[in-house]
Chains A and B, each alone.
Chain A
Amino acid sequence: MASPSTSSLSFKAPSIQSTRTSQVLRKPLSFQPISFGRFQSSKNLRLQISCAAKPETVQKVSDIVREQLALSADTALTAESKFSALGADSLDTVEIVMALEEKFNISVEEADAQNITTIQEAADLIEDLAQKKPAA
């Protein structure tokens, strides 16, 4: 029987050739050959989607950052904007993280707070914590 733990199986059949093989099984020719080659790529796609934060979260974070750092309306804020590039020192970063904690009703740990340098990272952390909270 085909075991679910292998990611791709190839059955030796006279008419079908498979290039992705990690295991070659000798099966009676009455079995239909199945290729699990696409399983891996869809798993990777799924991982990618769960890491990115929603655009609304990024927008809310940008609004808070803009307010805390008193930026003018024409300074462009992208998800990759670094706080230090926007003129924020470590105290400003603490203020931003506190404002985010209040707005999203989350609690950021010391270690996580040190690692936030861009808007995208803040949004990702918020989504992460918001997901974990209902489970607790």
Chain B
Amino acid sequence: MVDKGQVIRLCRSLLRAGRQLPDYNIREYAKRRTFDGFRMNKNLTDHSKVEKAYAEGKKQLEVVERVVKVYLAYPPKTKNIMELKLH
């Protein structure tokens, strides 16, 4: 039985893991995708569907953590222009 607190915790861990990504584009995508994914399934009431969505979220968390390790091994050499403060 997955409760609301667990779902929120999963969302936060996904966001935190995504924050470590060195590439601006992938980092922003991770943030966008987590919010879109959780909002899409926000109104699920069927227990089995909720469990399935939660399990999928956990799998994606593993993926993000793996990707973070790979990207940290070969970080991009230059900063993306969106990360530069040009005012």
Contact = CB atoms under 8 A, between A and B. Distances in A.
Chain A interface residue number, banded: 10 to 19
Given A90-B8, A91-B39, A94-B15, 11 more contacts: A89-B42, A91-B11, A91-B35, A91-B38, A91-B42, A94-B11, A95-B35, A102-B19, A110-B9, A113-B12, A114-B8
B5 A114 contact: yes
Contacts of A95: 35
Nearest to B5: A114
A98 interface: yes
Q: Tell me the interface secondary structure of chain B in the complex.
A: helix
Interface of A: 89-91, 94-95, 98, 102, 110, 113-114
A94 B8 contact: yes
A102 B15 CA distance: 12
